[in-house]
Amino acid sequence: MSILADRESRLLIDGKLVAGSSGTFATINPATEETLGVAADASADDMGAAIGAARRSFDESDWSTDVELRVRCIRQLQEAMRTHVEELRELTISEVGAPRMLTAAAQLEGPVDDLSFCADTAESYQWSSDLGIASPMGIKTHRTVAREAIGVVGAITPWNFPHQINLAKIGPALAAGNTLVLKPAPDTPWAAAVLGELIVEHTDFPAGVVNIVTSSDHGVGALLSKDARVDMVSFTGSTNTGRAVMADSAATLKKVFLELGGKSAFVILDDADLAGACSMAAFTASMHAGQGCAITTRLLVPRARYDEAVEAAAATMGGLKPGDPTKPGTICGPVISARQRDRIQSYLDSAIAEGGRFACGGGRPADRDTGFFIEPTVIAGLDNSAKVAREEIFGPVLTVIAHDGDDDAVRIANDSPFGLSGTVFSPDAERANAVAARLRVGTVNINGGVWYSADMPFGGYKQSGIGREMGLAGFEEYLEIKAIATAAG
């Protein structure tokens, strides 16, 4: 199997690789603007067939109760991805615009390794708990609590970290005993479709357990929320789309997992190494062109050292020039599309209109005529009420905001509709932890700690989402709880 040669990807429906009823659509290299190839373009009928296959497989097979089979299939998929990892790496760099260095971590190898956690968890999980005998209402009863698969899961995923997010849904959902329909973003169809090829050619997944439906039409993905045959929707993407998923799912009261937007704060306290912390904040905001929901994009610094902080951040960010993602040293590659580049530029324009200034960056790089590149940009001179401080930009943009001490920093950090992530820097561990404890967010990095790990739950507060992905909490999102009471005589 050659993943990159003459690619025209297909749908995976009911165990077969098939063409899309709506023909094909192109996938574009965001660094070169060249057409890489085409993907199968599914229709509403194709999605209906995929949902039907997943429904039958769950209802009529023993997939949901055969833990050994599930574990074997997940490990086979992991091994197939490892065998083809170099081809997958090139596909990811080309289709996603992901810098090569990131494919050794969260863009590819990390998510593949994390499938072990899903398989291991299924193998060791306590699927039932014996609560013993009691006599509620005077009736002697033996009580058991069982944990079971929810049923058919519809997974809708974005383009920024496609392997990470696809596998973070597929792995636990299947390990828990569910069947699944995956609808990836139109910008990165190959990263999902290649899983279908590997599943058919290298695994024992029964027909209908995994279905992968690529489409240029976002409405095809919305059918997962609306269809009564789907028991749960697991969605990662923008908060606005998350609201639509939740509204569509309400008609059938299906379970909804939502991992949504962020506007996370990087808080530097007045005793921290300002230059070092600002440099880290700038590096983080530039990585993968800022296309990460948990990236810290508001830099909160002591007011007395504001100008120094802006200068330090700009010194680092201005040196991280947008570059060719195929090169080993590139940190900031392209954004995914011309549409996204234009959207980012509109935010930069709004910053100037509101009275801000650019300490570095501010637009398209002068030395790149092709590719969807935008300069890493530091915005100064605005407060937390500015548009660029309130809304998720999803680009390499860092807004520097002054604070007047720990309480004020916490107030500003929490003054956001989002609550996904945050960072606190201070050499005083007690002080840093006290600030971190007051942040209304789902993940916190203190002094450079790393929360990204297969066994750590990820998710947010407020409009950053509902539920958790990864870790044991993420596995259990895909389970129902059944209480069983047996008369004991």
- Average pLDDT score, the chain: 97
Encoding tokens for residue 287? 């990585």
What region, left, alpha or beta, does residue 112 occupy, with left being phi > 0 and alpha being psi -120 to 50 degrees? Answer: alpha
Full set of structural domains in the chain with CATH? 2-260+464-486 (3.40.605.10), 265-446 (3.40.309.10)
Angle between helix axes 85-96 and 162-175 (nearest 10 degrees) is 120
Contact present, 276 and 264 (Cβ < 8 Å): no
Radius of gyration of the chain (CA): 23
Contact present, 63 and 69 (Cβ < 8 Å): yes
pTM: 0.97
Q: Which of 109, 259, 392, 477 is catalytic?
A: 259
User: Would you place residue 6 in the very low, low, confident or very high pLDDT band (cuts 50, 70, 90)?
Assistant: low
Q: What are 137-194's pLDDT values in tens digits? A: 999 999 999 999 999 999 999 999 999 999 999 999 999 999 999 999 999 999 999 9
Average pLDDT rounded to a whole number, residues 129-134: 97
Contact present, 109 and 82 (Cβ < 8 Å): no
pLDDT of residue 454: 97
pLDDT of residue 231: 98
Catalytic status, residue 354: no
Average pLDDT rounded to a whole number, residues 214-234: 98
Q: Is the pLDDT of residue 19 over 80?
A: yes
pLDDT of residue 4: 55
Q: Phi and psi of 324, rounded to 5°? A: -65, 120
> What 8-state DSSP symbol labels residue 416?
S
The structure tokens 């296959």 sit at 53
Beta-bridged to residue 368, according to DSSP, are: none
Count how many residues are written for the chain.
489
